Amino acid sequence: MSTRVDFAFGAPNRFRTACQVVRKQYLAGRKLIIYHSDPRSLQRFDRMLWGFEPDAFVPHVTIDHPLAAQTPILLSSQDLLPHHQAPPHQAWLLNLDSNCPPAASSFQRILEIVSDQEPDKQAARQRWRQYQQWQYDVRAHQINN
């Protein structure tokens, strides 16, 4: 089975939209790994995830945290081979990095959020081409504001 990659274009704010996507996946009962190679950016996203909406609760920890096996949402800025009980193909991946994530082929589904900022769109085009070279099933969706 080929990896499917869903690009959501037109996010007014990439991280805020990502928080909404994470909450939706959590409420659907899905395991999700969130990747960003920069630990500071991931830490900023972590803080946003705790307070992006007053009534939104999305339990999450880093992938190497002792509670990772019991937590549905995991954050990683390093190796994506999960240290929890569920195999990687059962978890989806939300890529917040400007490059394609490591171990991308281990995931059945990859989510990409793209803002209207030109640097973000340029990086997304590069990732799109890379995923196509890997022969992934790449799909585009427009976010309606």
Does this model's pTM top 0.85? My answer is yes
- Predicted pLDDT of residue 84: 44
Beta strands in the chain (DSSP E): 4-11, 32-35, 60-62, 73-76, 92-95, 109-115, 137-142
Give the tens place of pLDDT for each residue, 30-40.
999 999 999 99
Q: Across all residues in the chain, what is the average pLDDT?
A: 89
Q: Are 108 and 3 in contact (CB under 8 A)?
A: yes
User: What is the pLDDT averaged over residues 68-89?
Assistant: 70
Domains of the chain: 4-142 (3.40.50.10110)
| pLDDT-derived band at 91, boundaries 50, 70, 90 | confident
Query: Does the pLDDT at position 118 exceed 80?
Result: yes
